[in-house]
Amino acid sequence: MLDFFSIFSKGGIVLWCYTFQGVKANFTEPINALIKTVLLQERGGNSQFTHGPLQMQYKLDNEFELVFVVGFQKVLTLLYVDKLITDVHRDFRDRYRKKLLDSSLAWITVNFNYDNQFSLLRSNAEVKESNKVTTMRTFDKSGKSQKTIKSMTIDKNKDPKEVETKKKPSTPKAKKPVEVAPANIPVEGPTNGTTVANNSTDMDQIARNREAMSKRMATGKGAGKGKKTSQKKGKSARIWENGGNSKDAEALDYSGLQNEPLTNGHGEENNITDEQVKSLQIFIELSTCVVLLPIQKSSGGLFSMFRGLVGSKALSKEALQPVLDSMSDHLIGKNVAADIAQKMCDSVSNKLEGKILGTFSTIASTVKQSLNESLVQILTPKRRVDILRDVLEAQRAGKPYVITFCGVNGVGKSTNLAKICFWLMENGFRVLIAACDTFRAGAVEQLRTHKTRLHTLHPPSMHGGRDGVCLFEKGYGKDAAGIAMQAINAAKEQRYDVVLVDTAGRMQDNEPLMRSLAKLITVNTPDLVLFVGEALVGNEAVDQLVKFNQALADYSNSEKPRTIDGIVLTKFDTIDDKVGAAISMTYTTGQPIVFVGTGQSYPDLRSLNAKAVVHALLK
């Protein structure tokens, strides 16, 4: 059973909405979630969207900028939804076109009466789908019912090989004709002259066939022997095509034909007759008349001259597919994950299908422009991530601002933590570093070295006589969640503004370490969870982010588990124009890239420029 069906324009005008009987829920929230998450974020590659217990299926009409949405409970399996939404799309767009041509958009302010036609289309779709359902065969119609009890019993005294040979279906072999010697065979029944004549004819034919066979066998043996004794021929000279030889010289010599009339390479039989010349002149005159026909003057006023500049060709999937395939290969070559590239191309296809192509526009340029807009929209954060403002708000609340760093091994979590610490100290904040990597040897010493260097760059005199940075560590082999909690409490007592929690690097498949990370985030509830990933990965970025998010959700005990809030992309200076990892990570999580690491020194930290990344991706 369907819950609702709604038709609205991309501009936000609801043209028609139908709520089924017995459904009291308000569907404004799920439709708004569809618009914000899918339509505005350019994620239209899949035609389905799930919001809580509700499953929605939508279809876009790019020619008239319409959106068709149908919603039903996701526990139901409704097979007629695809046909229903297609039929409604075809019928409604025809009515919409007629209304646009008849009443010049004045009818849009009035609710569109479409209930009766929708009920008819829904009933037709349900009936056709119910007719497709096949009933299960009865036992009498199955192959097992044809077997007897004797065929299913096993005799232990018989050889199993014999049983197997009996089970194998015997394929009838083609019988070879057997030659029978002539003999006096008594024939039953009435014999007459015709029968005897036929038998004698058959015997003569068999004798002739035997003689022909013996001759062929004899000639075959002789030919084989002759081939063995024959000598090999030497290598023959190559004859070039149209090359000519000495025999052709006489035929090609025209020097002696001085008195003969010139025929311009054609013989007398090829001369054009007068009738052919007349017909050719008539054809030329007719073709000239066709070309020089006067163009009828159209009455359209000043803007009639621009009517030819507007294209009338609607884009189809068949026309877009070759360009999208090449664009997908280009994105994969730029380090975008393969499934992400395919989803983006599908989204562009759904966005452009049915649109009118301009006269001076090509399909390739249209696809590239649409993909450019989609990529910029994906990289643009859908929520505000302003760490400095959040730190000031935490100061007013009298608590430190907590940032947790997580990621796989070797991506540069500790180094980029030190860069962010330097950036915060440059903005006048005091930072406490919590060494919660109790698994890797040398992790605490690495943070202690960073702390010493940062303390040298920012002495206490720059922070009112207090230390600008401090390291909180409890050694190795301890509980990371407990160390983080102690560090946050110490930051409150000593009035530090920011707490940076360093965690151990772990692979996304390591369940014990993922449980430990989920426990740390659940117990301490940090303000920001940053995933640190390197820009060198391709398809692996999707797997890392999906499994990190899934582990944080599965191993958390809270009702609303915390997942990744932002991304720090490291080693961005080593990839040249292969910036596809930024697209893969942002598309997978929907979270923004907060920082980009561009070097090995502390100031080498930048914010992401979405337009520059897209330009490098599409060039």
Give pLDDT tens digits for 119-149: 888 888 888 877 765 667 777 777 777 776 6
Q: What integer pLDDT is reported at residue 503 of this predicted model?
A: 92
Distance CA 309, CA 212 (A): 81
DSSP at 21: T
Give pLDDT tens digits for 388-420: 999 999 999 999 999 999 999 888 899 999 999
Distance CA 411, CA 568 (A): 10
Distances (CA, A) of 155 to 107, 170, 239: 84, 21, 77
- Is 361 in contact with 319 (CB distance < 8 Å)? no
- Is 339 in contact with 388 (CB distance < 8 Å)? no
Q: What integer pLDDT is reported at residue 538 of this predicted model?
A: 67
For residue 129, give both structure tokens.
């789908």
Q: What are the start-end ranges of the H helices in 404-559?
A: 413-426, 443-457, 480-494, 511-524, 539-554
- Is 560 in contact with 521 (CB distance < 8 Å)? no
Distance CA 44, CA 65 (A): 14
CATH, domain 387-610, list 3.40.250.10, 3.30.300.180, 3.40.50.2300, 3.40.50.300: 3.40.50.300
Distance CA 592, CA 568 (A): 9
Q: What are the start-end ranges of the H helices in 427-501?
A: 443-457, 480-494
Lowest mean pLDDT among 102-116, 279-293, 307-321: 279-293
User: Residue 196: pLDDT band by 50, 70, 90 thresholds?
Assistant: very low
Local structure of 493: helix, strand or coil: helix
Closest CA to 46 of 315, 321, 345, 366: 345
Q: Which amino acid, one-letter code, is at 477?
A: G
Local structure of 18: helix, strand or coil: strand
Give pLDDT tens digits for 159-173: 555 555 555 554 454
Instruction: State yes or no: pLDDT of 366 exceeds 50.
Output: yes
Q: What integer pLDDT is reported at residue 288 of this predicted model?
A: 41
Q: What integer pLDDT is reported at residue 271 of this predicted model?
A: 54
Q: Strands 2-9 and 14-19: what pairing? A: antiparallel
User: Residue 579: pLDDT band by 50, 70, 90 thresholds?
Assistant: confident
Local structure of 4: helix, strand or coil: strand
- Is 517 in contact with 560 (CB distance < 8 Å)? no
Between the two ends of the chain, the Cα-to-Cα distance in Å is 49
Instruction: State yes or no: pLDDT of 434 exceeds 50.
Output: yes
Give the mean pLDDT of the chain: 77
Q: Strands 498-502 and 431-435: what pairing? A: parallel
Report the 10 Å Cβ neighbour count for 425: 22
In degrees and rounded to multiples of 5, residue 273 shows phi and psi of -80, 170
**How many residues does the structure list for the chain?**
619
Per residue, the 3-state secondary structure of 25-43, as one string, reads: CCCHHHHHHHHHHHHCCCC
- Is the entire prediction scored with pTM above 0.75? no
Local structure of 571: helix, strand or coil: coil
**Residue recorded with tokens 């100061």:** 395
Give pLDDT tens digits for 79-105: 888 889 989 988 998 888 888 777 655
Q: Which fold has domain 2-128?
A: Beta-Lactamase (3.30.450)
Closest CA to 382 of 9, 54, 38: 38
- Is 421 in contact with 387 (CB distance < 8 Å)? no
Q: What integer pLDDT is reported at residue 439 of this predicted model?
A: 85
- Is 596 in contact with 607 (CB distance < 8 Å)? yes
